[in-house]
Amino acid sequence: MAGNMIDFTDQNFESEVIGSDTPTMVDFWAEWCAPCKMIAPTVEALADEYEGKIRVGKLNIDENPSTPTKFGIRGIPTLIIFKGGQPVNQIVGVKSKAELKKAIESAI
């Protein structure tokens, strides 16, 4: 995983995402998901670009099934931006960097 990416799990989600004072973007993904692999470099680039303004990380849905269920994740990749412990923006599928930046800007 890239330097600024955080590895989220069912165990640390509450403290790392819900309890975070900084807006956090979570990439819900799986190893077998080709679209997830397509969007990964863009998500990693945004983690670098927005360092200090937003936290960015990934949650593997196969290894951590309870968190995606809790947030109603039906398709991947799904990116959810959390602010103040609440989901404020959700992006499903592969989107352009410009579309993702727009979602991040509206959250911060």
* DSSP-assigned states of every residue in 91-104: EES---HHHHHHHH
Residue 36 among the catalytic residues? yes
**Active-site residue identified among 17, 25, 26, 33:** 33
Residue 33 among the catalytic residues? yes
Domain ranges of the chain: 5-107
Nearest to 17 by CA among 27, 28, 8: 8
For each of the chain's 108 residues, which pLDDT tens digit applies? 557 899 999 999 999 999 999 999 999 999 999 999 999 999 999 999 999 999 999 999 999 999 999 999 999 999 999 999 999 999 999 999 999 999 999 998
Which residues in 11-34 are b (16+ Cβ under 10 Å) and which e?
Answer: ebbeebbeebeebbbbbbbeeebe
**Active-site residue identified among 6, 17, 26, 36:** 36
- Fold adopted by 5-107: Glutaredoxin (3.40.30)
User: Which pTM value belongs to this model?
Assistant: 0.95
CA 92 to chain CA centroid, nearest Å: 11
